[in-house]
Structure formats: structure tokens, C-alpha cells
Amino acid sequence: MAGRKAAGHHNAWKGDAVKKRLEDLDWETAPDSLTVAEAAALLRIPKNAAYEAVRLGLLPAVNFGKRRTRISKIALRQVFGTPAAEVHATAAFNHLPGGVK
């Protein structure tokens, strides 16, 4: 039992470290190949919304097996660098940028 508690405690510490790393992530320091969580942090959206955007094809992603999805930082910037893509992406989440109705 004591071993399980220690392992759980270690995982909580690891989770805190990952959370801190994601909070400190910015476009300049981010790696070229992003996890979905890293892309979500850069875009300041919930991780589940980023996974949904990948599933819908709104975020360019490559799957390397079941749990290894990566997003190119360059492709991500290109997607959000064009106004048409921005409107398309936000419309998929049932709202338009700038309060447009």
C-alpha cells in the first residue's frame, strides 16, 4: 500500500510540473512539434476543445499511434494567420470573432 501512495504522490508532482511548463509556454520557446496540450496552451483554449478541433480537421495534426498526436507550430501559425481560417475555426465552436452575429 505504501508503494502505491508514493507512486500516486509522484504522479501528482509530475502533473504539477507539466501544468507549470504549459503555463510558461509561449510561441518563441515552444518546440516545433507540439502535443495537443501544448497547442491548446498556446491558443489559450481548453485541451478538450483542441482535441475536438483536431478531430474536426480544424487543427493540422499528425497521429503517430493511438496516443501520439502532434501539431506543427509552423502549420498552427499559418492556420491562425489567415482571417478566413480564423472565422471558420471559431464558427465551428458556435461563435464568431469580434462579436459578429
Q: With 90 as the cut, is the pLDDT of residue 71 above it?
A: yes
The residue extents of the domains of the chain are 31-94
- Nearest 5 degrees, angle CA 84-CA 85-CA 91? 90
pTM to 2 decimal places: 0.64
Instruction: Provide the pLDDT confidence category of residue 99 given band limits of 50, 70 and 90.
Output: very low
Predicted pLDDT at 79? 80
Q: With 90 as the cut, is the pLDDT of residue 34 above it?
A: yes
Average pLDDT for residues 67-88, to the nearest whole number? 75
Predicted pLDDT at 18? 73
Rounded to 10°, the helix 2-24/36-43 angle is 40
Is 76 within 8 Å of 39 (Cβ atoms)? yes
Predicted pLDDT at 70? 94
Q: Which three cell numbers stand for residue 34?
A: 507540439
